[in-house]
Amino acid sequence: MLNKGNMKRSHGAIIFMLCILTGVIFYIGSRFFSVAVTHSVDHVNLEQRAQNLYENQDQESVKRGQIYDSIGNVLAENSSVYTAIIVLQKDQPKYLKNSQVNTVSKELAQELGGDASYYKKIIKNGIKHHYFQVQFGSNGVNISQEKYRTIKKKNIPGLIFEAHPARLYPNGQFASDLIGEASSSGSNKIKGVSGIEGSWNKQLTEQSGVSANNIKNGNLSQKTKNVEAKNGYDIYTTLNTKLQSTLEDKMNALQADMQPKQAFAAIVDTKTGDIVAETQRPTYNATTKSGFGNFWSNLLVQEPYEPGSVLKGITLASAIDTNNWNGDNTYSSGKIQVDDKVVKDWNNGDGWGRISYTDGIALSSNVAMVLTEQKMGSKTWGKYLDRFQFLKPTDMGFSSETSGSMNFRYPIEQANTAFGQGIKVTPAQMIQAYSAIAGNGEEIKPNIISKIVDPNTQKVIYSAKRTKVAKPIKESTAKATRKELENVIYNPKGLGAMYAIPNVKTTGKSGTAQISTSAGYTQPGDNTNEIHSWMGMAPSDNPRYMMYIVVKEPQSNTDNISKDMSNVFVSTMEQALQMNTSDKKAVISDKQQTKIPAVKNESMKKAKSEIEANHLKPEVIGDGKVVKNQYPLGGGKTLLNQRVFIVSGGNVKVPNMQGWSKKDVKNWGRLVDIKINSSGEGFLVEQSVLPDTRIADGIHEITVKFKTP
């Protein structure tokens, strides 16, 4: 028999256990009730979590837009970089064993750089703390595809790779300040940080596609959101690859010889404003990243400077336009007093005695420009600086473009601006201003973007046009200014004889500017503390191209300034002026295939030129001015010399189809909605409707005959 004490203790224990069990059941029941009613656990919305899961599962793969030269050669494209990882977890198919640590550390050091001890320390620490895997900081990231393939072939124990999207710049050092740089910054999203990559990042950026489903009450069939995946827009620059390569080589030679703190050069199509080649120093190699850590900015639009005597061409044009210039008149060179200041000619104020104003331009006399500014009057001169659009951004599209600055309150400041001191400009502003002198008096905006194409639809959504921003001078003034500036090169007293292009009449203006410091301007003649420049145009009577070169503070071999700068100018301008059709064609792949350009919405003239530049035959349908449709669509590749049909609407005529393939004839018929009755195989030898017959005259079908050669 159990005694009464034991019985009481047993009953108490049973009651206690029942109370605990009841509490647990009550808690679990209340949690189930709460989840059923609120669809949440610990403030986490389970329905939303599941919804996000379904959304993430349906994301589509898209890519950033690519950057090309003017006719489709790739300047920036999508690629991948890799991160090296060593797996330590033993239950993985490929992991690093303790016995392999020393060997693998040496192999990693050999392939990724650094000491084997560095890798060994990281691996041993990972093993000690039971890490799943380890990485190696900057040594093991941003591994190129070529390096990745090389390492992967070695089958290093435990080594795996993680791919990340990246940007590839196949030409290396190639207008790097313009093309810019894009970075994934450790994420899977590439973002532009400079140049076109940064300023046009919005257009280049892709849009991920998502198909999201409503899973409320267990129903997975109802879609609540569907975002279409879109590739980023492709951007075509105005650059000519062959001319750009030449300019890079010539500027490298200048840089190596003179070691300037900064240098800039650009060649511009005077008829369109297109920048066909441009580079600067310092720059960087976008492929190897060599030089990317150095301080640099986009000199074209971000670094205003005092242009010096190159601005005298603008003073000259303003004076001619206001009838305040007579080149045959004479003046006393050397020095001139303005209030309590003295302005000197560049030869320490010695001058050249009494000379003509034409000789003054040839000799780059400051005194001649001060007298010219005084004849015009400061008010008129100030208006012309405004008419030429100085102190205003060019709005080329780059972010952070500066406007420049000017001191213009006192007579000495007004006089200084006449020879390019006391006013700060950007190369883009100078190029834009001189476009009025190079052309018919109309000032046109510089272009660096030729067109923007939506690769999702193959439509051209933006096509650059010649953009007039002002007409500061008359056409007759522009011609007279160019003629007067010829004296800089061809006058026996001129300072620019070395800039003459053989067999091509050339015109332009050289410039030297002292550097403004807190203690005043540097002394004339100290070439290492001066800005040297040249603005040249050719042919002089009707310029086709214009080139601007700026060299800031050369630190060595300063006796070679004119020699080195003229070498850049003459050689690249000769190439530009002699460019023929083959110079403007795309580089063909090894398989002799070429890219089909997207020309929908472009002008017919520009579309034809671009198709021909890609080694294809444009076949125009209609007499309209704008491309409404094309076949094949742009973006793909095809064999050389194939036909690309471009439809413009308007009056459509039957072409002469002799020698056409059956495929081309059928495509033409489909595009113009004409029935093609054909017999035979091979190439067309007969057509029932004469060439140049209007479709609108009642043509509904054409009978054709093909024959095999």
Residues serving a catalytic function are 309
The tokens for 447 are: 């272009």
One-letter amino acid at 328 equals: D
Q: Count Cβ atoms below 10 Å from residue 569 Cβ, excluding itself.
A: 27
The tokens for 685 are: 């030898």
Strand ranges for 486-529 from DSSP E: 507-514, 516-517, 520-521
The length of the chain, given as a count of residues:
709
What radius of gyration do the chain's Cα atoms show?
A: 36
Q: 123, 85 in Cβ contact below 8 A?
A: no
Nearest Cα residue to 364 out of 265, 277, 487, 268: 487
DSSP 137: G
Nearest Cα residue to 612 out of 661, 564, 646, 649: 646
DSSP 168: E
Q: 569, 264 in Cβ contact below 8 A?
A: no
Nearest Cα residue to 537 out of 470, 485, 468: 485
- CA distances for 479 relative to 216, 472, 482, 562, 673, angstroms: 76, 14, 5, 26, 52
Direct distance between the N- and C-terminal alpha carbons of the chain, in angstroms, rounded to an integer: 120
- CA distances for 637 relative to 61, 65, 591, 594, 644, angstroms: 22, 17, 11, 5, 12
Residue 254 CA to its chain's centroid (Å) = 24
DSSP 138: G
- Helices 561-578 & 241-258, crossing angle to 10 degrees? 170
The tokens for 687 are: 């057509």
Q: Which residues pair with 343 in a beta bridge?
A: 336
Q: Tell me whether strands 234-237 and 67-68 are parallel, antiparallel or unpaired.
A: parallel
The rounded distance, in Å, linking the Cα atoms of 194 and 192 is: 6
Q: Is the peptide bond before 411 cis (omega within 30 degrees of 0)?
A: no
The rounded distance, in Å, linking the Cα atoms of 208 and 626 is: 32
The rounded distance, in Å, linking the Cα atoms of 71 and 194 is: 23
Q: 235, 68 in Cβ contact below 8 A?
A: yes
Q: Count Cβ atoms below 10 Å from residue 638 Cβ, excluding itself.
A: 16
Q: Which residues pair with 661 in a beta bridge?
A: 683
The tokens for 592 are: 């002799």
**Helix locations, 174-216, DSSP H:** 176-179, 195-199, 201-204
Q: Which bin fits 175, alpha (ψ -120 to 50), beta or left (φ > 0)?
A: left
**Any idea which residue has 């790097």 for tokens?**
176
Strand ranges for 539-579 from DSSP E: 545-554
DSSP string, 316-368: HHHHHHTT---TT-EEE-SEEEETTEEEE-TTTT---SEEEHHHHHHTT-HHH
Q: Count Cβ atoms below 10 Å from residue 362 Cβ, excluding itself.
A: 26
Q: Tell me whether strands 423-424 and 159-168 are parallel, antiparallel or unpaired.
A: unpaired
